[in-house]
Amino acid sequence: MKDIRPIKDDSRPKVYIETYGCQMNVNDSEVILSILQDAGYALTENIGEASLILANTCSIRDNAEQRVWGRIDQFRLQKQRRPDVLVGIVGCMAERLKDKLLDSHVVDIVAGPDSYRSLPELVRNVAPDSPQMNVLLSHEETYADITPVRMDRNGVSAYISIMRGCNNVCSYCIVPYTRGVERSRDPRTIVREARELLEAGYREVNLLGQNVDSYLWKDVDGQTVGFSRLLEMVAEISPELRVRFSTSHPKDISDEVIYTMARYENICRHIHLPVQSGSNAMLEKMRRKYTREWYLERVGKIREVMPDCGLTTDIIAGFCGETQQDHLDTLSLMEEAAFDAAFMFQYSERPGTLAARKYPDDVPADVKTARLNEIIALQNRLSRESNERDLGKTFKVLVEGVSKRSPDELFGRTGSNKVCVFPSAGHRPGDYVRVEAVSCTSATLISRIV
């Protein structure tokens, strides 16, 4: 079995990696570290001793990119102090901006999400005035044979990418341009990776894809494995290994997946189901390919089969042409769906997307902000109400670590993905404990061990 934890070896040159963006990027950084460890590097958390500095970047909204431009200015200072340091920008921003990143005269390496295997070669070939770039996208690359080197602190919960890319064309979204076409990973390599994680002490795997419901593996003998079958295969590894997944697409989440979740105790009852908007006019313009009514029907089905299932979402405020009525439709859908939590954003126009080409970004900034604030305020209330409904209930919680509130308290998650804090009582990360929720905030269930 390969090392799944960073190698400690002072004689090796050091790589420092900063990660921005989604869970897939976090997992990609673990793939990158695996490739670089094989090439002789060791990870450092101290940028000052790194000979290679990497930023794994995100393009989803303009502010995500602005943060990285700020970091590039910081990296410039490192290079002034130590001219031999190499700086690499990898990930979605590398794919989107390509050689524009070289204009900064700070960046030596630009590598897109499908070119990480070439990183050692790119590093070798860098010379003064000869930066290196590989932004080719692939139809096949899934890094299936690479064992990610885990950078999490607890050793309890790990990401497994089950697919890459996206074949949807949501009009606001840059991901299909930065990550290329959708491809699924061989299920045997997914199961093997999950089993190795269990053997290394991990107790939870989170299966990642932009649209997990369209996972589809076709074997050479014509056999196919879809997402619900993959869920079963991973769930059957061990009842001690929890299974989570993200992200589900409302147009594709099937009854089969919902029933499969209900059949296995160790598949966590939580679905992240981004709705984006409650207005049919906006959903149409966003090209999400479902209606408000369809979305609420799916929520109804989930609740019918699994009344205790956690439901979370993503919402965009102020998309092109959004009227006050469209906004009110989003608020009323949030109430009807009674989300447990949400990620909420202002629309940010991304160059080259369908929306950028077709629709003016015409909701004034102050209106976007005001609408987003209303959405956040409503979600705070819904989250608190959801937690209040859980008071007095008991949950099986997987301990993840020491609570930020107190060294004598631990935190962990319920299957429905709520964070609980409770007295340590000799438990450790990786243990399962039963707790009762006794009080709450909008973000946390304060609990006692039962």
Q: Which parts of this chain interact with ligand SF4 (CB under 6 A)?
A: 166, 168, 170, 173, 175-176, 210-211, 249
Q: At closest approach, how far in Å is the CB of 112 from ligand F3S?
A: 10
Q: At closest approach, how far in Å is the CB of 57 from ligand F3S?
A: 7
The DSSP 8-state label assigned to residue 18 in this structure reads E
Q: At closest approach, how far in Å is the CB of 45 from ligand SAH?
A: 27
Would you say 245 or 347 has its CB closer to ligand SAH? 347
Q: Which does 61 bind (CB under 5 to 8 A by kind): ligand F3S, ligand SF4, ligand SAH, none?
A: ligand SAH
Q: At closest approach, how far in Å is the CB of 445 from ligand SF4?
A: 30
Q: Which does 58 bind (CB under 5 to 8 A by kind): ligand SAH, ligand SF4, ligand F3S, none?
A: ligand F3S
Beta bridge partners of 316: 345
Question: Which residue has the CB atom at the shortest distance from ligand F3S?
Answer: 21
- Of 427, 413, 331, which Cα lies nearest the Cα of 380? 331
Q: At closest approach, how far in Å is the CB of 176 from ligand SF4?
A: 5
Would you say 155 or 176 has its CB closer to ligand SAH? 176
Q: Which does 59 bind (CB under 5 to 8 A by kind): ligand F3S, ligand SF4, ligand SAH, none?
A: ligand F3S
Q: Which does 314 bind (CB under 5 to 8 A by kind): ligand SF4, ligand F3S, ligand SAH, none?
A: ligand SAH
Would you say 166 or 355 has its CB closer to ligand SF4? 166
Q: Which does 176 bind (CB under 5 to 8 A by kind): ligand F3S, ligand SAH, ligand SF4, none?
A: ligand SF4
Would you say 173 or 311 has its CB closer to ligand SAH? 173
Distance CA 450, CA 448 (A): 6
Cβ contact 431:201 at 8 Å: no
Residue type, 431: D
Q: Which does 348 bind (CB under 5 to 8 A by kind): ligand SF4, ligand F3S, ligand SAH, none?
A: ligand SAH
From residue 427, alpha-carbon distances to 47, 399, 410, 422 in Å are: 34, 8, 8, 10
Cβ contact 25:58 at 8 Å: yes
Would you say 148 or 209 has its CB closer to ligand SF4? 209
Cβ contact 40:13 at 8 Å: yes
Q: Which does 178 bind (CB under 5 to 8 A by kind): ligand SF4, ligand SAH, ligand F3S, none?
A: ligand F3S
Residues 6+ apart with CB under 8 A from 403: 409, 410, 411, 421
Q: At closest approach, how far in Å is the CB of 167 from ligand SF4?
A: 8
Beta-sheet pairing, 224-226 with 242-246 = unpaired
Q: Which does 16 bind (CB under 5 to 8 A by kind): ligand F3S, ligand SAH, ligand SF4, none?
A: none
Q: Which does 149 bind (CB under 5 to 8 A by kind): ligand SF4, ligand F3S, ligand SAH, none?
A: none
And the tokens for 240?
A: 């001690």
Would you say 112 or 429 has its CB closer to ligand SF4? 112
And the tokens for 121?
A: 């070669």
Beta bridge partners of 413: 398, 419
Residue spans of beta strands (DSSP E) within 112-254: 132-134, 157-161, 163-164, 183-184, 204-208, 216-218, 224-226, 242-246
Beta-sheet pairing, 14-19 with 42-43 = parallel
Peptide bond just before 44 cis, omega within 30 deg: no
Would you say 259 or 343 has its CB closer to ligand SAH? 343
Q: Which residues bind ligand F3S (CB under 6 A)?
A: 21-22, 24-25, 58-60, 91-92, 174-175, 178-179
Cβ contact 185:162 at 8 Å: yes
Q: At closest approach, how far in Å is the CB of 380 from ligand F3S?
A: 24
Q: Which residues bind ligand SAH (CB under 6 A)?
A: 60-61, 172-173, 175, 210-211, 247, 249, 274, 276, 314, 316, 345, 347-348, 350
Phi/psi of residue 418, each to 5°?
A: -90, 140
Q: At closest approach, how far in Å is the CB of 230 from ligand SAH?
A: 18
- Of 289, 378, 362, 253, which Cα lies nearest the Cα of 328? 378
Distance CA 90, CA 88 (A): 6
Residues 6+ apart with CB under 8 A from 210: 24, 163, 165, 166, 168, 175, 179, 182, 247
Would you say 24 or 410 has its CB closer to ligand F3S? 24
DSSP 3-state assignment of 148?
coil
Q: At closest approach, how far in Å is the CB of 135 from ligand F3S?
A: 13
